[in-house]
Amino acid sequence: MNAQLAKYAAKLAATGLCAPGDVLMAALDDELAWSAEHDPRQPLMESVFAGLNISALLLARPAGVYQAVMAELVRQALADGGGTGQGSITPGDCETRTFLHDLPVVDSLTADGIIQALRQRKGCVVLHEGEALVAAFGTVSPEQAYVTMSSMCFACFVAYFADHLRTLRAGAMTDQRRASFARIKALLPEDRGDIDGLPDLLPGPFDSEDAARAAIIQAGRHTVEYGLVDSYFGNISYRLPATGQGTGSETILISQTGSSLDELGPCIDPCRMDDGSCAGITASSEYSAHKAVYEAEMASDSAGAGARAMLHGHPRFSVIVSLDCERLDCPKLGECHRACDTPRAVSDNASGLSIPIVPGEVGTGPFGLCNTLPPALADTTGDATGHGRGAIVYGHGLFTLGAVDFRDAFQALMDVEHFCRAEYFRRVAQLDAG
């Protein structure tokens, strides 16, 4: 157990979410096991454990830009709470909506405060000596606490930058917020689109299941490594041609729901396209969307070809830009993620890249991704060279297509995020100029 805890603690450090040593994890074995021994935070965490029915607990001090945005958001939330010492951060992204709901904040580092907050939600943000700390738990495994921490960092990052743009649009920017923003912007990691080329991905087409699996595993690992998704969110699929005689159906290989994209290994399900039974079991919760996209691809291409690869990530600035809308008085406000009917896109005139932004909920309902995503992707042609087919789902993430392998899908994921990051700061500069 100690080794498993140390692994997740190291993973948080490796992804830049906190510095090594700034996270302590505990899990209930025969007795409490720790990611590190002789830590002064142990008595506090033991008290929290005693007050909750949980199996794992994490206490971490987020690093860098995550520390800065969380500290800012927790201060704002406590100010909005009007001196009650309580409040919550309410990000508008899909991970928060479906997974976290909102993030309770606590104004001091006490076991009681944390216990109360964690009775409501999977994780909370604590303001302690001017800094933000995260407490999160797992009911069955330390992995759950890790996923919550990672998702909270993502959600707060998106919430902070989206709020800043919204405040500018509302004409409510203050000097204090402007100064914080400059300080936080300086903490951003370098834009990887500036420094990295495309990773060395396997060339397709793949006509065996083994070859396609190897390509999926490799693309998944790089998607996480390049920061285009946090490991437990996002998914990947490949449409394999029908083989042999008489089988007739193509097969979609897709990552399993809740699997870690950088460690897919066996967590890839084969789903025959003529069999609807795959979706309910372990395949990604977005399987129905992948399947519908491939069906549209096959129908639109007279040769029956169409895209064979699809990548889905939650690149931060693509999500942030999708949340930005000029229509502050729109009657659909608050329902954008499902009911927005305004055609929207981010467009790069220089390259010809145009990426639609569409609503869509996870699942198969009337506003489900399987209904909104296929027509959006079918309409995309990519840039002037035909590369870069993709669509952004409002507040959620980016889906990109590859003709025969993951190289063009990955390039599109990188290009769109690179463009959205520049586009975000262009909009901020433009709105703040007046």
End-to-end CA separation in angstroms for the chain: 56
Q: How many residues does the chain have?
A: 434
Report the nearest approach of Zn ion to the CB of residue 424 (Å).
20
Select 138 or 360, whichever has its Cβ closest to Zn ion: 360
| CB half-sphere exposure, 404, CA atoms < 13 A | 7
Whether cis (ω within 30° of 0) applies to the bond prior to 205 is: yes
User: Which residue, 22 or 225, has its beta carbon nearer to Zn ion?
Assistant: 225
Per the CB < 8 A criterion, the answer to whether 373 and 391 are in contact is yes
Query: How buried is 274 (Cβ within 10 angstroms: 0-12 exposed, 13-18 middle, 19+ buried)?
Result: exposed
Residue placing its CB nearer to Zn ion in the complex, 360 or 402:
360
DSSP 277-299: GGTTTTB-TTHHHHHHHHHHHHH
Q: How far is the CB of 91 from Zn ion (least distance, A)?
A: 15
Choose among 5, 10, 60: nearest CA to 37: 5
Residue type, 347: S
Kindly tell me which of 8 and 232 has the beta carbon lying closer to Zn ion. Answer: 232
Separation CA 136–CA 275 (nearest Å): 39
Nearer to Zn ion, 113 or 397 (CB): 397
Name the segment binding Zn ion (CB under 5 A); options: 48-56, 249-257, 268-276, 393-401. Answer: 393-401
Residue nearest to Zn ion (CB): 397
When the beta carbons of 99 and 425 are compared against Zn ion, the nearer one is: 99
From the CB of 226, what's the least distance to Zn ion, in Å?
A: 16
Q: Which residues contact 423 (CB under 8 A, 6 or more apart)?
A: 317, 321, 346
CA dist 432 to 73, 168, 170, 231, 244, Å?
21, 7, 11, 35, 61
* Number of residues forming the site for Zn ion (CB under 5 A): 1
Q: Given the complex with Zn ion, which of 138 and 397 has the nearer CB atom?
A: 397
Q: How far is the CB of 328 from Zn ion (least distance, A)?
A: 27
User: Quick one: which of 397, 400, 405, 416 contacts Zn ion (CB under 5 A)?
Assistant: 397
Q: Which is nearer to Zn ion, 97 or 421 (CB)?
A: 97
To Zn ion, the closest distance from the beta carbon of 355 in angstroms equals: 16
> Which residues in 161-220 contact Zn ion (CB under 5 A)?
none
CB of 35 to Zn ion, least distance (A): 28
Determine the 3-state secondary structure of 60 from DSSP.
strand
Give the Cα separation of 152 and 147 in Å (integer): 8
- Give whichever of 92 and 397 is closer to Zn ion, judged by the CB atom: 397
Q: How far is the CB of 399 from Zn ion (least distance, A)?
A: 8
Nearest to 142 by CA among 250, 280, 1: 1
Helix (H) or strand (E) holding 357: strand 353-358
Name the segment binding Zn ion (CB under 5 A); options: 261-269, 380-388, 392-400, 402-410: 392-400
Q: Which range in 26-34, 78-86, 294-302, 397-405 contacts Zn ion by CB under 5 A? A: 397-405
Question: Least separation, in Å, of the C-beta of 160 and Zn ion?
Answer: 20
Dihedral angle of Cα 145, 146, 149, 151, to the nearest 10 degrees: -110
Write the interaction track for Zn ion spanning residues 347-386; mark x where CB under 5 A is met and - where it is not. ----------------------------------------
Q: How far is the CB of 96 from Zn ion (least distance, A)?
A: 12
Binding track, positions 285-324, relative to Zn ion; x by CB under 5 A: ----------------------------------------
Question: Which residues here bind Zn ion, judged by CB under 5 A?
Answer: 397
